Chains A and B, each alone.
Chain A
Amino acid sequence: MTALRNIRPTTAGIVLAAAALLGLWPLLPAWAAHTAAVSLGGGLVALGLMILIRFGLVSFGQGLFFAIGGYAAALANQFLGITDMLVLSVAGIAAAGMIAWALGYIVRGHRGIFFAMLNLAFSMILFGILAKTVALGSTDGFSVGVPTLLGVAPGPEAGRLTFVLFGFIVISSALVAWMVDRILASPVGYAGQGVRENELRLRYLGVSARGAVHLAYIMAAKLAALGGVFTVLLIGHVTPEDTAYWTKSGEFVFVAILGGAGNVAAPFIAQTVFELVRTFALQYVPEAWQMLLGITLLLVILFLPGGLWSLVDRLRGRDA
């Protein structure tokens, strides 16, 4: 219902937000631009989880695809000498898409805790492989060069986050968010509601629940991989612990729940809140950062089951 009503405002909102970020670039201090870009990267992963949540599924191993994207880009950069961010992004998405397609045949029949656990197991296997592969730097990981775009290379004095990279991340995130919004409002999106509420009835309607889950799983994987590519390009380094370990997957779940599944903007808002709070918490109360996360998660579960976005819906309901 809300999705139908929201289509046009959401599209407008995405365009406005992207334009605002691009226009604000000269005014943004370096840390703010970095936070915004990192939030878009993480937000993409949470957006993928949001699609799964619409299907009634939660993956405790989305770090798997985040790592695949990040490592695919880093490897292509390190061993093939590719520096173009567009090519690196496509490489990450393609790698994750293929692996998700294959794994999808296994996970699409699983629901609830088993879906979450199976993905956790997948991601921990990848973590084990990455941490033990000396050629990939084991637990230390390895660095990634400064990316270019269509032959435009940043000057030697420019930092890692150039306007080109920033603009690329903002525009591709906006495009992806728009696409996901349209997909969620399509029959595939509504199949998600069917899977969540009553799978058997969905099948009586002639819709393949497993097929729809498989599709959503691949979409979520590609989003996570793109988020991984962006994050690695921004940070310039990739390690198994910061990508594939289960605590990272837990963070993404936290963000997805915090935002709620109401709108494609929700994961990005939640990720921004997460990054900002982390920046300040690590500076002022580093020993209570996880406690803050835990208490927030509890409060959201108990009092705001629809996440932050339900506040927006509530506000709008009052205005109308």
Chain B
Amino acid sequence: MMALAAIVVDSLVYASWLFIVSIGLTLIFGVMNVLNVAHGSLYALGAYTAAWGVGMYVGGAPDAGFVLLAIMLVAAIVVGVLVGILIERGVLRWVYGRDEIVIVLATYAVFLVLEDVMKLIFGPESYIAFQPRFLFGTVSVAGIPYVGYDLLLVPLVALIGVGIWAAIHRTRPGKLLIAVIHDREIASALGINVARFFTVTFLCGAILGALGGALSAPLISVVPGIGVELIVLAFAVVVIGGLGSVEGAAIGALLVGLGRTAAVFFRPELELFVVFVVMTVVLAVRPEGLFGKPQTRRI
């Protein structure tokens, strides 16, 4: 019974983390058809900047409270906006209209560049920002103590997910965005500024990527290479749910979260690749993902 409760809670926490680190990827793909490899860099940059900011602040004020969370949020927004604009205006707009796979390669190039930029800025040493993790104490669920920060990820991420869904389906810009998703040319003929929607979407996706990193900073030690590992994981999550689908990313995160937690509990040696087994099965059977729509074929 306790094991079951532990698996459920662990899965939920891990799934929430997966959702927050991959939602930006699926959002950008859904609107722009850009599979953004540089999402991994945004995550890492967000984590580095947040860890650095928290470290700087804590150095001066030992009993810093919730300011730390604000620092993390600001770090994510600053990184997302700056790097997002740089990528979208500096690189992507020159390759719109080229083959999907060429665009993937362009973002892969950006990813490679940013990997070294991070090493130049932050150096090879690891950054640890554990302080925010202990702001909320520990909470006991079914007799097992959990770190409050981890548990709070679940409602926070649910809020973000619902917020994104509502922004797309319940607001005017959201409806216009759906028009852009369905047909760029008709949308632009109707007077919608498609280019601006692209830029704004990319910025939102970039901020979400950096936010994922910032929220992860207290959970991990921030070292070179975290973006490399994250991007394949995020790929798996969004591919399972269906590239470009917010609901799909949530389901993908839950599935992967459950699969990995079960693996950790029962067969730890399977942990590394259970994610990719699920990804393979979904891709093989339903390439458009569990929630994606099959594409119409154009002759």
Contacts and interface: CB of A to CB of B under 8 A. Distances in A.
Nearest to A123: B276
Nearest to B283: A118
A128 B284 contact: no
B228 interface: yes
A280 interface: no
Contacts of A288: 116, 120
Contact of B112 (A121, A127, A293, A305): A293
Given A125-B277, A290-B115, A302-B94, A113 B104 contact: yes
B7 interface: no
Nearest to B109: A297
Contacts of B111: 294
Contact of A253 (B91, B105, B235, B272): B105
B125 interface: no
Contact of B35 (A109, A113, A198): A113
A251 B114 CA distance: 16
B243 interface: yes
Contact of A113 (B106, B119, B243, B269): B243
A89 B103 CA distance: 36
Q: Per DSSP, are chain A's interface residues mostly helix, strand or loop, or mixed?
A: helix
Residue with the greatest number of chain A CB neighbours at <10 A, chosen from B91, B109, B110, B111: B109
A295 B283 CA distance: 31
Interface in A277-320: 287-291, 293-295, 297-298, 301-302, 305
Contact of A301 (B102, B120, B297): B102
A85 interface: no
Contacts of B117: 291
Contacts of A116: 101, 104
A198 B79 CA distance: 42
B185 interface: no
Interface string B54-81: 0000000000000000000000000000
Contact of A124 (B95, B100, B243, B276): B276
Contacts of B299: 198, 200
Contacts of B279: 117, 121
29 contacts: A58-B101, A60-B104, A112-B101, A113-B100, A113-B104, A114-B287, A117-B279, A118-B284, A120-B232, A121-B276, A122-B280, A124-B232, A125-B273, A127-B272, A128-B273, A131-B272, A132-B270, A253-B105, A253-B108, A287-B119, A290-B112, A291-B117, A293-B109, A293-B112, A294-B112, A294-B114, A297-B106, A297-B109, A298-B106
Report, nearest first, the 10 A-B pairs whose CB atoms are least far apart.
A128-B273, A294-B112, A294-B113, A128-B272, A297-B109, A291-B116, A124-B276, A114-B287, A294-B109, A298-B109
Given A113-B100, A113-B243, A298-B106, 16 more contacts: A117-B279, A118-B287, A121-B280, A124-B232, A125-B273, A125-B276, A247-B228, A287-B116, A287-B120, A294-B114, A295-B113, A297-B105, A297-B109, A301-B109, A302-B95, A305-B102
Interface of B: 35, 91, 94-95, 99-102, 104-106, 108-117, 119-120, 228, 232, 235-236, 239, 243, 269-270, 272-273, 276-277, 279-280, 283-284, 287, 297, 299
